[in-house]
């Protein structure tokens, strides 16, 4: 903005004013997700919380498939790769959840709250990070 000025920013906002509601909603979801990560880190630690909240890719995959129809018309191999990757994420998140349940220290209700906070953060971030190849 220093080099180009702010004129193009305001022009862009005027041309796409209808997208402001979605931008504000995405920002609100992002804020909730960030708050949940604080609780998750406190309750289960960063090494467990970080991979769990990265399940947001599953939400992004679902949005891409359901809303944007990104997998329609692709070969079965492509769909199998996407589903295999999603399955690996679920499997890894489940293993992390089980590992944290056996972790020493802290009351058990804090572990469950931490796991749910991390997964909730992933759920909130999912719509924010889902992408489509189609232009807006």
Per-10-residue mean pLDDT of the chain, 136 residues long, equals 77 84 87 93 86 83 82 87 89 78 65 87 78 42
The position carrying tokens 């996407």 is 82
| Contact yes or no for 123/59 (Cβ under 8 A) | yes
To the nearest 10 degrees (0 to 180), the angle between helices 46-53 and 108-129 is 40
Q: pTM for the complete prediction?
A: 0.68
CB atoms within 10 A of CB 39: 18
Class of residue 116 by CB neighbours under 10 A (exposed 0-12, middle 13-18, buried 19+): middle
pLDDT score, position 32? 93
């Amino acid at each position: 903005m220093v080099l180009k000025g702010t004129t193009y920013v305001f022009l862009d906002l005027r041309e796409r004013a209808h997208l402001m509601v979605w931008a504000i909603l995405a920002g609100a979801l992002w804020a909730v997700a960030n708050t949940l990560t604080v609780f998750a880190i406190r309750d289960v630690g960063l090494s467990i919380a970080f991979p769990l909240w990265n399940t947001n890719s599953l939400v992004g995959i679902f949005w891409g498939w359901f809303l944007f129809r990104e997998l329609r018309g692709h070969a079965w191999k492509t769909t199998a790769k996407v589903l295999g990757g999603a399955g690996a994420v679920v499997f890894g998140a489940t293993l992390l959840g089980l590992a944290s349940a056996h972790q020493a220290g802290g009351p058990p209700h804090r572990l469950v709250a931490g796991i749910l906070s991390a997964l909730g953060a992933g759920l909130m971030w999912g719509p924010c990070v889902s992408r489509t190849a189609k232009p807006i």
